Amino acid sequence: MSTNASALRHARYVLGENPVTAFAFGLFVLIVLAAILGPSVVPYDPLASNTSRALQAPSAQHWFGTDQLGRDIFSRVIVATRLDLFIAIASVALVFMLGGLSGVAAGYFGGWVDKVVMRIADTIMAFPLFVLAMGIVAALGNSVQNIILATAIVNFPLYARVARSEANIRREAGYIEAARLSGNGDARIVLTQILPNIIPILVVQMSLTMGYAILNAAGLSFIGLGVRPPTPEWGIMVAEGAAFMVSGEWWIAFFPGLALMLAVFCFNLLGDGLRDIVDPRRRT
């Protein structure tokens, strides 16, 4: 109980001392609430079209205006948060399990394990990452599951290299030797000694990757390889609105693009704050 209280006090201290981190956490809470509650609180059905209200500018009735089919853009932006956040979280969780654990194993065991993991990472990095994601989704089909898989694959080298480097440094540390002398097996040492000590570094990478995952999903949707319309998704909405920018209907692309920018901005700022909170060496 005292450990939890100490961690909570440290988190409050970090947020109080760094207004930017506090802002990022507040924005993250808003994004999560929009993802959880959004579909049940939006004023209009995000899929319902009404051509008599098509291309209306932002007003008190439609805060973000309407699109070419008369759909309420505010409702669609809020509802799209759930899908984009799900893609980000799922892809980060998958790449953490694949890349993080593979990198830890490569750094700790070395030998053929290290060679196999690093050659896989080098092979992935030989391709432009977005082009590789396009190829994976084009080959497997543009479903949410394949977008998540493609995003995890292109981020595999980042996690594998970071985890390998940290595990390689720590495998000869004194506390690791003490764990070996105490009779702990390699698997137990990796899971209870190595991995917990590199989590703060991976947490920062996870936060940054969530922003990239949202951008990757939006980019794939923008070129027609992402989530299929009429599903509300920020990238699709920006792509649909781009054609109307010339004729002056700026709001169709602007508000989904603004939501996308704020989400990526939030996750980029969140990384440093999470590092300060999770890293035990920074606790006072």
- List domains and CATH numbers for the chain: 2-282 (1.10.3720.10)
pLDDT of 28 over the 80 cut: yes
Burial 152-178 (b: 16+ CB within 10 A, else e): bbbbbbbbbbbbbebbbebbeeeebee
Location of structure tokens 């007003």: 59
pLDDT at 7 over 60: no
Residue 209 is encoded by which pair of tokens? 């990757």
| Mean pLDDT across the chain | 84
pLDDT at res. 77: 93
Please tell me the predicted confidence (pLDDT) of residue 245.
84
At residue 22 the predicted structure's pLDDT band, cuts being 50, 70 and 90, is: confident
Assigned token pair, 27: 């924005």
Q: Stretch 20-46: mean pLDDT, rounded?
A: 87
| Percent share of the chain, pLDDT over 70 | 89
- Mean pLDDT along residues 125-138: 90
- Could you please report the per-residue DSSP string of 111-122? HHHHHHHHHHHH
Please enumerate in sequence order all residues whose Cβ is within 8 A of that of 218, keeping only pairs 6 or more positions apart, or say none.
84, 226, 233, 234, 235, 238, 260
CA 235 from chain center: how many Å?
15
* Nearest partner of 13 among 242, 5, 92, 164, judged by Cα: 5
Separation of alpha carbons 104 and 99, rounded Å: 8
Asked whether the predicted pLDDT for residue 279 surpasses 70, the reply is no
For residue 284, pLDDT beyond 60: no
Helix (H, G, I), strand (E, B) or coil at 183: coil
Is 176 or 10 the better-scoring residue by pLDDT? 176
Question: pLDDT digits over 43-72, tens only?
Answer: 898 888 888 888 889 998 989 999 888 899
Longest dimension (CA), the chain: 76
What's the token pair of residue 113? 């394990």
pLDDT for 80? 92
Integer Cα distance of 144 and 161 in angstroms: 27
pLDDT greater at residue 284 or residue 200? 200
Q: So what's the pLDDT on residue 1?
A: 45
CA distance 137 to 141: 5
pLDDT of residue 79: 92
How far apart CA 76 and CA 65 sit, in angstroms, is 11
Q: Which of 47, 102, 100 is nearest to 71 (CA)?
A: 47
Q: Average the pLDDT over 202-210 and give the result.
A: 82
Beta carbons of 59 and 65 less than 8 angstroms apart: yes
